[in-house]
Amino acid sequence: MSDTPVEEMTFEQAMAELEQVVGQLERGDVALDDSIKLYERGAALKKRCEKKLKEAEEKVAAITTDGDGNATGTKPVEGM
Amino acid sequence: MSDLIDDAAPGMNAPEFSVTEISGAIKRMIEGEFSHVRIKGEVGRVSRPRSGHIYLDLKDDRAVISGVIWKGVSARLATQPEEGMEVVATGRLTTFPGQSKYQIVIEDIKPAGVGALMAMLEKRKKMLEAEGLFAPEHKRPIPYLPEIIGVVTSPSGAVIRDILHRLRDRFPRKVLIWPVAVQGERCAPEVAAAIRGFNALTPGGALPRPDLLIVARGGGSIEDLWGFNEEVVARAAAESDIPLISAVGHETDTTLIDYVSDRRAPTPTAAAEMAVPVRLELLAWLDGQGGRLVQSLAGGISQRGQRLRDLSRALPRAEALVEGPRQRLDTWGDRLPVALERGVQRRRVALSEVSSGLQISGLRRSLRNEKMRVEQMGARLSPALLRGVGWKAERVAAVKLSPRMIERDITDKKQRVADMFRRLSEAGARQILELEKRLEATDRLRETLSYKATLARGYAVVRGDAGVVTTKAEAASATGLEIEFADGRMKIGAGRKNAPSKPKPPEQGSLF
């Protein structure tokens, strides 16, 4: 298990660890107590992944710049 | 006014110019006529003095024209002139009357034609490659699922539409567009500024920093895409901390930015595909993982339950385990009191058997028996002793000692001594006789060997102070001489006081 709390994991990290947890559980070579802990960890990882997948929000904005080409803000982009 | 008076020769009515006047006239004419020209040629010798101006030659196979690019202009140039480059220079002609020279003041200079462009690009590529900008270790991995995607492209046109469309299909994300010119002179500086601008944003700030950049442009001619071949763009892309996907032109067009970007997409749509995974696939995968998770836990538990049941069936009943030992215990427990009684009884019988023989009358009887045996033995002791003494006395008496035997022995030994003595005297006498004979023979031999026999034949022995003299020198130095003849000795000269000792003839040593 990585040290990163599940809540701070990227989708990729959570995904990789979830695969590992499922693999471990399926091999069935973990003690019963550990397998329940693993299951709980797996459930948390799955929740994290689901959350990241739900954040599928589309928002398109264009940068506005000043005379020197520095970014000053954004304006929404419509109609694409 | 004298000109008017002079009688001008025919044909000599052309006006006379001073050098300055004619130079000025030429200058005015040239500058008026060639105030804006484009000259195509090869760049010859280029010099760049400290002043910042650039002096160069433009040439073709037959002519050369000098050129100058003032400092202010040279800083603005998109392409710096290099020797051997085919260029089109735009500017005005001017003269330099002090040296009777003319030159072109260049206001813009561009590579001439595709060949020149490609040659320049190749050179640039080699330089950047040598700097290690294309090295694989420079490439950063593209994030699996970026939160915010920064797109550097034209805000209008098909490219951004394609990208957004494909993103929406796969995984809708937040997109920040940094509008830039994608062709023309403004293209390269704007694209470079946009890449740097995105990198300058702070993550999570009011303007959130993207975690992936896409630099995109649709297809076009090599001149259209040229901005993405500029060094400033390539360097900005190489320096970007944010992973960058380049998607410039069609699949067959490769621009300089493609070599330094972290990934190169053949088209803008492909860039969007590289940027995000497909959400629906991930949802399906996640469902699958969830299912496997539940199943494997449930499976693990039920498997363990099954195993527990199996094992418990195989476990024997507790009663069965103790039955045998219990029975044995009962058996032996029953036998225990009986065995004790029997053991005591057996010992009691043995004791009574032993103790029955242990009576005082028995002891007395055996004492009496022993006493009788002692008395019998005592009675036999005295006669046995006497008998032994008598027997020894008899043996002593049997030995006889007679003096006659000793006497005979003495006579015998006396006889042997006398015998020995006689043989000894005889042997002595015989040896003396023999020795006398040998002495006589030896003496005779001595007589024949003595020098005295020589004296008889006429020889003489001369003696000096220290014995026999054999040389004349010795004789001369001697105080006196003695001559021995066969019949005696005679002295000559002063003899020594002490009588000369008669030389001893060699003698046979005494036999005794």
For residue A52, being part of any structural domain is answered with yes
* First vs last C-alpha separation in chain B: 191
* pLDDT for the residue numbered B449: 78
For residue A67, being part of any structural domain is answered with yes
For residue A70, being part of any structural domain is answered with yes
Domain around A68: 6-74
Flag whether residue B171 sits within 8 Å of chain A, measured between CB atoms. yes
* pLDDT for the residue numbered B497: 47
* pLDDT for the residue numbered B504: 52
Contact B197 A70 (CB under 8 A): yes
Top residue of A17, A60, A72 to mutate, by most chain B CBs within 10 Å, is A60
* pLDDT for the residue numbered B54: 92
For B52-56, the CB contacts below 8 A with 24+ separation are B54/B81, B56/B81
Domain count, chain A: 1
CA distance B475 to B231: 143
The tokens for B368 are 């009496």
What is the pTM assigned to this prediction?
Answer: 0.54
Top residue of A10, A63, A72, A74 to mutate, by most chain B CBs within 10 Å, is A63
Whose tokens are 């496997």? That residue is B292
Contact B171 A57 (CB under 8 A): no
Looking at the complex, report in whole angstroms how far the Cα of residue A30 sits from the nearest Cα belonging to chain B.
Answer: 9
For residue A58, being part of any structural domain is answered with yes
The tokens for B215 are 């630099």
Instruction: Name residue B41's beta-bridge partners.
Output: B87
The tokens for B444 are 């005779």
CA distance B250 to A62: 25
Top residue of A11, A12, A47 to mutate, by most chain B CBs within 10 Å, is A11
For residue A1, being part of any structural domain is answered with no
Q: A69 — alpha (psi -120 to 50), left (phi > 0) or beta? A: left
The tokens for B361 are 């009358």
Residues of chain B with C-beta less than 8 angstroms from the C-beta of A53 = 279, 282-283, 286
Residue A22 vs residue B474, higher pLDDT:
A22
CB B159 within 8 A of CB B224: no
For residue A27, being part of any structural domain is answered with yes
Q: Given pLDDT bands bounded at 50, 70 and 90, which one contains residue A57?
A: confident
* pLDDT for the residue numbered B500: 47
Residues of chain A with C-beta less than 8 angstroms from the C-beta of B171 = 56
Contact A12 B292 (CB under 8 A): no
> Which ipTM did the prediction report?
0.84
Helix (H, G, I), strand (E, B) or coil at B138: helix
Residues of chain B with C-beta less than 8 angstroms from the C-beta of A79 = none
Residue in A with minimal Cα distance to B205: A73
Contact B175 A22 (CB under 8 A): no
pLDDT per residue as tens, chain B (512 positions): 455 556 556 667 788 889 999 999 999 999 999 999 999 998 988 998 999 899 999 998 899 999 999 988 887 887 788 888 889 999 999 998 889 999 999 999 888 877 777 888 888 899 999 998 898 888 999 999 999 999 999 988 899 999 999 999 999 999 999 999 888 878 888 999 999 999 998 887 778 899 999 999 998 888 788 889 888 999 999 999 999 999 998 878 788 999 999 999 999 999 999 999 999 999 999 999 999 989 888 888 888 899 899 998 888 887 888 888 888 999 999 988 888 899 999 999 999 888 877 777 778 888 999 999 999 998 888 888 889 998 998 888 877 667 788 889 999 999 999 999 999 999 999 999 999 999 999 988 887 777 777 788 788 888 887 788 888 888 888 888 888 888 888 888 765 444 444 455 555 555 55
For residue A80, being part of any structural domain is answered with no
Interface of A with B (CB under 8 A): 10-12, 15, 18-19, 21-22, 25-26, 28, 32, 35-36, 39, 42-43, 46, 49-50, 52-53, 56-63, 65, 69-71, 73-74, 77, 80
For residue A12, being part of any structural domain is answered with yes
CA B265 and chain centroid, separation: 47
Nearest CB among A19, A52, A69 relative to B289 is that of A19
Nearest CB among B179, B197, B207 relative to A73 is that of B207
* pLDDT for the residue numbered B219: 87
Please report, for the domain that includes residue A30, its CATH number.
1.10.287.1040
Phi, psi of B108 (to 5 degrees): -155, 145
- Find, among A10, A57, A65, the residue nearest to B200 by Cα: A65
